[in-house]
Amino acid sequence: MRIFRHFDTLADDARGAAVAIGNFDGVHPGHRAVINEAGLIARAEGVPWAVLTFEPHPRQLFLPNQAPFRLTPFRAKARAIEAMGVDLLIVQRFNKAFSEMAAENFVRSALVRGLGAHHVVSGYDFVFGHNRGGHCDLLLAMGEKEGFGFTATTALVDDSGEPYSSTRVRERLKAADPAGAAKILGRDFELSGRIAHGERRGRDLGFPTANIHLGRYIRPTNGVYAVRAQIEGEENQPWRDGVANIGVRPTFGGDGIVLEVFLFDFDQDLYGKRLHVRLIDYLRGEKKFDGLDPLKAQIALDTVSARKILAATGEDNKRREAAKPRQG
């Protein structure tokens, strides 16, 4: 997948695409329906398959003091979109000047002159432009005038009849329910980051951890989780079982939220590497212990619990894979 940092920087062979447009934070099934619709049109009509998104998320501009809320900061979002098979990702910088662009001007400058869009796809509730003045009816009308097709996808709902939404995922993560978040996302919620140097307390306790600062990611409920983690760049990219703590490490008087991951049956230096961590299940809340021995004993219990949960979910995944219809 090729990434362009502005619609003005597109190569000639990237113009004329079928373009899915939106913020796509989380890249949940509702988002993927929009992106896949653009893909179907692109493949049918022999044009590139593109996604146009905005960074940073508009909420970061309009609500700068809001706590971190992103399900997929840019790197994670790009990774999820690339996994779908998209050809091009166009990333428009969302700043004050861009936010004040009238909706009609955005269509003409970005979609027509910049992208030379062949077809545009959005969700049914997509709005854009200054004061949210643009909407699907405007895209349809301007497409007829400017020479591009337009499709609005309908709302996609889950088994409970609720529409897929990033807000619902955030609510589940705040409620210490990563499994519920995964049902809405269509995959396990994942945190990624570069492993930072810590104070090596985990190694001294017999449980060496990889420490990751969460940056722009939403803060799931503090506590201990059963996790699976992937070391970026490792041969064959295996997902390794482990246990992780999200929190401030109150036993040691910590004050900043850190993700600490202990990988089972693994003892290699990971400093400086990127780690992708999937939250599988919530084990317990974070607590302060009266000394290192009680803490060490609790980590051992957490490890046993996490191994049981991950073994069970691993078997469930195998059964689901075996039940899928085979092609050919």
* Residue 116 CA: distances (Å) to CA of 113, 127, 304: 6, 20, 56
Are the C-beta atoms of 104 and 138 separated by less than 8 Å? yes
Burial status of residue 322 (CB atoms within 10 A of its CB: 0-12, 13-18, 19 or more): exposed
Give the pLDDT of residue 10: 87
pLDDT by residue, tens only, the chain of 328 residues: 999 988 888 889 999 999 999 999 999 999 999 999 999 999 999 999 999 999 999 888 888 888 899 999 999 999 999 999 999 999 999 999 999 999 999 999 999 999 999 999 999 999 999 999 999 999 999 999 999 999 999 999 988 899 999 999 999 999 999 999 999 999 999 999 999 876 655 565 667 789 999 999 999 999 999 999 999 988 888 999 999 999 987 666 666 789 999 999 998 888 889 999 999 999 999 888 887 888 889 999 999 999 999 999 875 565 544 444 444 3
Domains of the chain: 2-153 (3.40.50.620), 184-321 (2.40.30.30)
Give the pLDDT of residue 326: 47
Distance CA 302, CA 282 (A): 10
Query: What token pair was written down for 155?
Result: 């709302």
* Residue 173 CA: distances (Å) to CA of 24, 92, 245, 266, 274: 18, 28, 14, 28, 22
